[in-house]
Structure 1
Amino acid sequence: MTSGGTGRRSLTTLPKAHLHLHFTGSMRHATLLELAARDGIVLPDALVGEWPPQLSAADEKGWFRFQRLYDVARSVLRTEDDVRRLVREAAEDDVADGGRWLELQVDPSGFAARFGGITAFTDLVLDAVRDASRATGLGMAVVIAANRTRHPLDARALARLAAQYAGRGVVGFGLSNDERRGSTADFARAFAIAERAGLLLAPHGGELLGPESVGVCLDQLGAHRLGHGVRVAEDPRMLERVVERGVALEVCPVSNVALGVYSDLTSVPLPQLLEAGATVALGADDPLLFGSRLAAQYATMRAAHELSDAQLAELARMSVRASQAPAEVAARLVGEIDAWLADCSP
């Protein structure tokens, strides 16, 4: 991959779309500490003095530790105002990083008991999204995601919920958590429900498992986008399928390294993906646990692979094209990206 020279324009002013950000994981670390102190919740050292935590998902024990920290963080969200604050701050942080469109991924089942059920919680999140969008100017939408460690019937219930809100703030349906657990194909009926409602299908795959998991997401779930998908680079034929089908990859470099998928940022195969013609949208995944937000994903890839400003601008354009932003919004954002690149005085 020829870089064409290293870039120098500010990456926080590069307009971009953010397609891979989890609800709880978007929380500010300072907010986590404040809410925990308010309610007397004792946080593990990994979320306090040792933050960001040292993580690994190389084995079941490592993923369990990661998930435990995630569950602890979720537990501090106790009131409607907490939820509204999280969404507003996530929007503010994306705007500060050059974000112009955000698709926030939410699993309502994790909050149902505390907030009156999955429908009531979804209503709350969507109202918070509307308020945050008005306050910050950030275009926002929601992807409802099922948890693959729960029963596929739960996923069907969430798919029906997502279908009810299609066109009313919910734009997609996903599948998250440890892809090594259970059978991805068992969730096909849930994805069929979402597809009939016209929703984007965006399961996680090709991160903790290799290219074969990408094939299952394509063939069994009908994926339009892949959460992560980065390990498809290990199989040229599977990568060719992804490119031919126009399936975008939501690549999250910092979390890939933090979880041990790759040893370092230079090993993240972004150049191979781009050379093959793949559509890549960089995402932050869970900033609360990885300590890195949207602009940092671009900065780390710029440094690790000596990307030029032209290449970074194209990554931003791909993020917009892979999004569910309305056509007029997407066209405006691409124009803003072109203007960023045309600026001769970075």
Structure 2
Amino acid sequence: MISMCQVAVMYVPLLWVLRVTDGMPDPSQRDVLILQEALRQTGGRVALLAAEQKLDADLRQLKQDEMSGAQFPPAMHFFKAKPLIHKSSIFQVLKKMPKGAALHIHSSALVSVDWLVQNVTYRPNCYICFTWDNSIRFLFSNSRPFPQLNCFYWQLLETLRATMEDPEEFDDSLIRHLTLFTEDPEGDYPSQDIVWQRFEQAFNKAAGLITHAPVLKDYFYQGLTELHLDNIMYLELRSGLSQTYELDGTVHDKSFYVKMFQEVTENFKADHPDFLGARIIYSVNRALSLSDVKAAVKGAIQLQKDFPDVVAGFDLVGREDSGNSLWNFREALSLPAELGVTLPYFFHAGETDEEGTKTDQNVLDALLFNTTRIGHGYALVHHPVAKELSRTRNVALELCPISNQVLKLVSDLRNHPAAVLMSEGHPMVISSDDPSLFGTTGLSYDFYEAFVGIGGLKANLGTLKELAVNSISYSSLPADLKNVAYAMWQKKWDAFISDHS
């Protein structure tokens, strides 16, 4: 079995008693202190082989060059930094690096918006409605849909495009509707309330496209394809298991959704033997009532029983600052234990900068309910007890740098609190949260921001290696499949190092 300790690791005592002196400190003591700090950071105990050391030295030089440049991408809003990141030699290396698993991605933002617009909206029977509040909705139907709330008039997209002088500009406008991208993010999103409003609207706009059953099947396959192209071999997808529908209006239940996901995953694995698989974390919005969450927890228990290899567990999603706290749902979250069953939790917790509020306590409550991982955990550094508990229990943080920046928790990623956690070697994985809404695919962009911005010069190839292995170690995969995953990843890593030696 390959584990974090299987890569060669050097240990030294972490306790060092300083000799108090009024004069010049002993230089050897200083060296030991520097070494001890380096060993504590993420990847600090990963001993690199000769070929790895060469790539590490190259990356360090590239990072120093980028830090001394006139524009430093992690210090800029991602929408402005993205073109610079594309030109980065470090980013080109990260795209080729085997990154292991993506453990925090939401289903409605899995696939690039370009594919949705250029592929899905060109399919037959696709209708669009322009709402009174300058939003849009989509629906596939055999005939013109009946008027609905906010949607009084549906137009067939094929017919509408035929009247356009510039269909390409029209498609660009659809893309703008379905993402958060703007050339002036600071001006267009002056507050968290405004960016979150636009964020949630984007999900509503895309829902009618994604949940059409034939589209959903292709959507899953395209999502796995985009991850695979970014050298990712496994996915844990947070999904509300939305009701899928047919052209005649027939609506399917949640089991249909899970079966389709399972079928597509198996087909993708057959087509791509170096892809390990995918699982679902059933997620419902934290704005729901207690009775609704109770029903959802019971539904998650049944779905996991029916699909034990597909359904990994349960989560509550949505904006923490405006939603209910985890403690508010304590009766619902206690149901599995009362029923004598196990339902793993993967709670979003601490995605807030409002210190001292009920929301701020979610990181503690997530640990009280034995969460398997902590989604975001931006506030974790302000909770020393929760931080210690998550470390001793080996509960990993799911770090999503670009999401935290776009949703206005932090502007300069060098100031992200995860920098403290990385310096302490806190259990952590890197993920992308809602890549399509931010104009990304896969994990490379978030790895770049974590490696160059949050990690700074202290982050090295050992950091990247440990983070990749972490994504397997902290996944929900059973032990036997983790062993398979480690072996698959190691083979890819060796080839990656060979290509850069």
TM category (shorter chain) comes to 0.7 to 0.9
Partner residue in 1 for 2:485? 333
8 Å contact from structure 1 (residues 228, 250) kept in 2: yes
Q: Match of 2:127, SS?
A: coil
Deviation readout 1:33-53 (Å, 9 max, x if unpaired): 132354132576775248552
Letter in 2 for 1:326: P
Aligned to 1:296: 445
Cα deviation for residue 194 of structure 1 reads 4.8
Whole-Å separation in 2 of the counterparts to 1:290 and 1:128: 25
Q: Which stretch of the first structure deviates more once superposed, 36-45 or 266-275? A: 36-45
- Deviation of the 1:250 alpha carbon: 0.9
Contact persistence 1:227–1:251 (CA under 8 A): yes
Within the candidate set 90, 93, 106, 1:22 is matched to 106
Checking the alignment, whether the CA contact within 8 Å between 1:239 and 1:276 is kept in structure 2 is no
Aligned-residue offset at 1:201: 0.6
| 2:344 paired with 1:200 | yes
Corresponding residue of 1:162: 300
Residue of structure 2 aligned with 1:260, choices 408, 430, 438: 408
Verify: 1:121 aligned to 2:257, yes or no: yes
Matched residues in 1 for 2:300 and 2:218: separation? Answer: 23
Please, what TM-score do these two structures have when normalized by structure 1?
0.88
Secondary structure of the residue aligned to 2:421 is helix
Calculate the TM-score normalised by the size of structure 2: 0.62
**How does 1:61-100 map onto structure 2 within 5 Å?**
61-100=194-233
Instruction: Find the aligned partners of 1:247 and 1:150 in 2 and give their Cα distance.
Output: 26
Q: Quick check: 1:48 aligned with 2:48? A: no
How do 1:231-310 residues align onto structure 2 when only pairs under 5 Å count?
Answer: 231-292=379-440, 293-304=442-453, 305-306=456-457, 307-310=459-462
* Contact 2:351 2:378 (C-alpha < 8 Å) held by counterparts: yes
Matched, 1:189 2:317: no
**Change beyond 3 A, Cα 1:143–1:133:** farther
Cα gap change, 1:299 to 1:237, in 2 (>3 Å): same
RMSD: 2.9
Q: Which runs of 5+ in 1 are unaligned?
A: none
Give the structure with higher Rg (CA): 2
Alpha-carbon distance in structure 1 between the residues aligned to 2:411 and 2:221: 34
State the AA in 2 paired with 1:187.
F
Q: Distance in 1 between matches of 2:335 and 2:411?
A: 38
Q: Deviations 1:263-304 (Å, cap 9, x if unpaired)?
A: 122222333112333211111111110112312211222221
The 8 Å contact of residues 313 and 337 in structure 1, kept in 2 or not, is answered as no
Structure 1 window deviating more from structure 2 (313-322 vs 236-245): it is 236-245
Separation of aligned partners in 2, 1:252 and 1:107:
20
CA distance in 1, matches of 2:285, 2:243: 9
Q: Deviations over 1:221-261 (max 9, x none)?
A: 33121111132123333312221222111111111111111
- CA apart distance, 1:72: 0.6
Checking the alignment, whether the CA contact within 8 Å between 2:192 and 2:408 is kept in structure 1 is no
Cα displacement string for residues 289-333 of structure 1 (whole angstroms, at most 9, x for unaligned residues): 011231221122222124211110100111111101232332243
Code of the residue aligned with 1:18 in structure 2: it is A
Change (3 A) 1:47 1:278: farther
CA distance in 1, matches of 2:190, 2:107: 20
Q: Contact 1:14–1:313 (CA<8 Å) still a contact in 2?
A: no
User: For 1:117-148, what per-residue CA distance to the aligned partner results, in whole angstroms no more than 9, with x for missing partners?
Assistant: 33433333333333334333431111101110
SS of aligned partner of 2:315:
strand
Is contact 2:211-2:244 (8 Å) kept?
no
Q: For 2:432 and 2:190, locate their aligned partners in 1 and report how far apart those are by CA, in whole Å.
A: 17
Q: Distance in 2 between matches of 1:77 and 1:114?
A: 15
Alpha-carbon contact 1:191-1:201 (below 8 Å) kept: no
Closer/same/farther in 2, CA of residues 96 and 163 from structure 1, 3 Å limit: same
Q: How many pairs were matched up? A: 345
Q: Which moved more, 1:141-150 or 1:33-42?
A: 33-42
Residues 178-231 of structure 1: CA deviation (Å, up to 9, x unaligned) = 112123212233333456543321111111255532112222x33121111132
Distance 1:110 1:203, change over 3 A: farther
Q: Is the 8 A contact 2:211 2:243 kept in 1?
A: no
CA distance in 1, matches of 2:176, 2:281: 32
Residues 115 and 121 in structure 1, CA contact (< 8 A), matched pair in contact too? no
Specify the code of the residue in structure 2 equivalent to 1:20.
Answer: H
Q: Which runs of 5+ in 2 are unaligned?
A: 1-36, 39-43, 45-55, 61-89, 137-171
**Contact map agreement 1:194 1:201 (CA 8 A) in 2:** no
Q: Does 1:148 align with 2:286?
A: yes
AA in 2 matched with 1:255: S
